Structures are given as C-alpha cells and as structure tokens.
Amino acid sequence: MANGELRCWKCLQELEEVLTPMPRLAKCKNCKADLHVCHLCEFYDTTVNNACREPIADKVNDKTRSNFCGYYQITSISASGADAQIDARKSSLEDLFGLEEGSSTISASNADESKQALDALFGLEQDKD
C-alpha cells in the first residue's frame, strides 16, 4: 500500500512518511494520535464481537490507543471516505450547537435563547429588566 493512501483515523490528515508495517509507537504528526490502533486495522468492525473480525485476536479494550495486536493489518481511509466523515462530524456539531447548515456563526438571538435555556436548566434566576 502506498503511504499516500493512509489517513489518520482521528483527524483524517493524510499520513506521509509512515513506515509499513506500522511501528507500534507511530503517531500522527498533525494531532499526535496513536496510529497502531484498531481504527486503522482491516479487521476493525464494530458490528462483530469485540469489534474485530479476527476470531483469535486478544481483546483490545481501548481501540484508540496503541496496542500489541499481532494481527494488525493497516488499512486506508479513502479521500472520499474521509470527506464523508468530515461532513458527518460538521453536521453533528451544527446540530449540537443549533447552527444552520453551512453557517459558521451563532446569531445574537440564538445566543440569548441558548443562555436562557441553560439558566432554566440549572435553575438560575434571570435578570428582569
């Protein structure tokens, strides 16, 4: 596999100058995330037991931390797959913060409504003008 095809599982930055097979202590130069992790393994599959399609691999509790799995086979995240993940993450954040699709700012009225909702949630008295 050409290194140009590899992307970090966390920040989706294209990985350059990464040795294969992946060293256990390899880290993303952009976000410093571990790279010898289940998320970048071809056997990683959240729909199966222990999220691993390799039936005799030891269970790895933290799929985002470097591990000693002997069955680790690096897989790539395609550019289109990375773009889809970025779009999904942006959409989730927009939904979470009540932003309109494609908007990057919160209006003053939305901020006021949000503050009032938080005050009500925590039982804080609101100032009356």
Q: pLDDT tens-digit profile of 104-113?
A: 555 666 778 8
Alpha-carbon distances, residue 20 vs 4, 54, 61, 75, 101 (angstroms): 12, 20, 24, 11, 39
pLDDT of res. 2: 44
Tell me: pLDDT of 51 over 60.
yes
Mean per-residue pLDDT over the chain, rounded: 79
- Residues making up the chain, counted from first to last: 129
Tell me: pLDDT of 33 over 90.
yes
101 touches 91 (CB < 8 A): yes
Higher pLDDT, 25 or 125: 25
Q: How many CB atoms lie within 10 A of CB 72?
A: 22
pLDDT of res. 66: 93
37 touches 44 (CB < 8 A): no
68 touches 37 (CB < 8 A): no
Closest to 63 measured CA to CA, from 71, 75, 51? 51
